[in-house]
Structure 1
Amino acid sequence: MAAFGTVFMPKMALATYENQAWANASIVPSDKLELHPGAHVLHYSSTCFEGLKAFKHEDGSVNVFRMDANIERMAQSTDLLFLPSIDKQQLGDMIKEIVALYADEVPAPPGSMYIRPTHIGTEPSIGKAAVSSETSLLYVLLSPVGDYFAGGVKPLRLLLEENGMRCAPHMGMIKSGGNYASALGPIARAKNECQADQVLFCPNGDVQETGAANFILIDGNEIITKGLDSSFLHGITRDSILTIARDLGMTVTERDFTVNELIERAQKPGTEAALSGTAAVLTPVGTLIHNGEEITVGSGEPGATTLKLRQALNDIQWGKAEDKFGWLHKI
Structure 2
Amino acid sequence: MNSLLSDIKIIKAQTSKINEVDFENITFGNTFTDHMLICDFRNGAWEQPVIKPYEPFMIDPSAKVFHYGQAIFEGMKAYKDANEDIWLFRPDQNHERFNKSAVRMAMPEVPEEVFIGGLKALLQLEKEWVKFGKGNALYIRPFMIAIGSGVIAQPSTQYRFMIILSPAKSYYSGEVKVVIAEHFSRAANGGIGAAKAAGNYSAQFYPTKLANDQGFQQIIWTDDATHTKLEEAGTMNVFFRIGDTLLTAPTSERILDGVTRKSVLDIAKRDGIATEVRPVLVEELVAAAKNGTLKEIFGAGTAAVINPIVGFSFRDEYFELPKLENSFALDIKEKLNNIQYKLAEDTFGWTVKV
Q: TM-score range by the shorter chain?
A: over 0.9
Contact 1:155 1:300 in 2 (8 A): no
Report 1:1-331 matches (<5 A): 1-108=25-132, 109-127=134-152, 129=153, 131-148=154-171, 154-169=174-189, 170-192=191-213, 194-203=214-223, 204=226, 205-267=228-290, 268-269=292-293, 271-297=295-321, 299=322, 304-331=327-354
Structure 2 counterpart SS, 1:271: strand
| CA deviation map 1:187-224 (0-9, x unaligned) | 000110x2111011113211111231111001233110
In structure 2, how many angstroms separate the alpha carbons of the residues matched to 1:147 and 1:167?
A: 27
* 246-255 or 259-268, which deviates more: 259-268
Q: Which runs of 5+ in 1 are unaligned?
A: none
Cα deviation for residue 326 of structure 1 reads 0.9
Cα deviation for residue 94 of structure 1 reads 1.0
Cα deviation for residue 117 of structure 1 reads 0.3
Contact 1:75 1:88 in 2 (8 A): no
Contact 2:85 2:353 in 1 (8 A): yes
In structure 2, how many angstroms separate the alpha carbons of the residues matched to 1:288 and 1:48?
A: 30
| CA deviation map 1:254-300 (0-9, x unaligned) | 11121000112234256111000111111111111111110112x15
In structure 2, how many angstroms separate the alpha carbons of the residues matched to 1:303 and 1:16?
A: 49
For the aligned residues, what is the CA RMSD? 1.5
| CA deviation map 1:88-124 (0-9, x unaligned) | 2221111111111111220122110000000111110
In structure 1, how many angstroms separate the alpha carbons of the residues matched to 2:316 and 2:222?
A: 16
Cα deviation for residue 302 of structure 1 reads 8.1
In structure 1, how many angstroms separate the alpha carbons of the residues matched to 2:184 and 2:112?
A: 35
Structure 2 counterpart SS, 1:171: coil
Q: Which amino acid aligns with 2:204?
A: A
Contact 2:95 2:112 in 1 (8 A): yes
Contact 1:285 1:300 in 2 (8 A): no
Q: Which amino acid aligns with 2:178?
A: L
| CA deviation map 1:148-176 (0-9, x unaligned) | 46x6xx44101101222113432110001
- What's the % identity of the aligned pairs? 28
Structure 2 counterpart SS, 1:306: helix
Runs of 4+ in 1 over 6 A off after TM superposition: none
The alignment's TM-score, normalised by the length of structure 1, stands at 0.94
The alignment's TM-score, normalised by the length of structure 2, stands at 0.88
Rate the CA distance shift 1:87–1:184 in 2: closer, same or farther, 3 A.
Answer: same
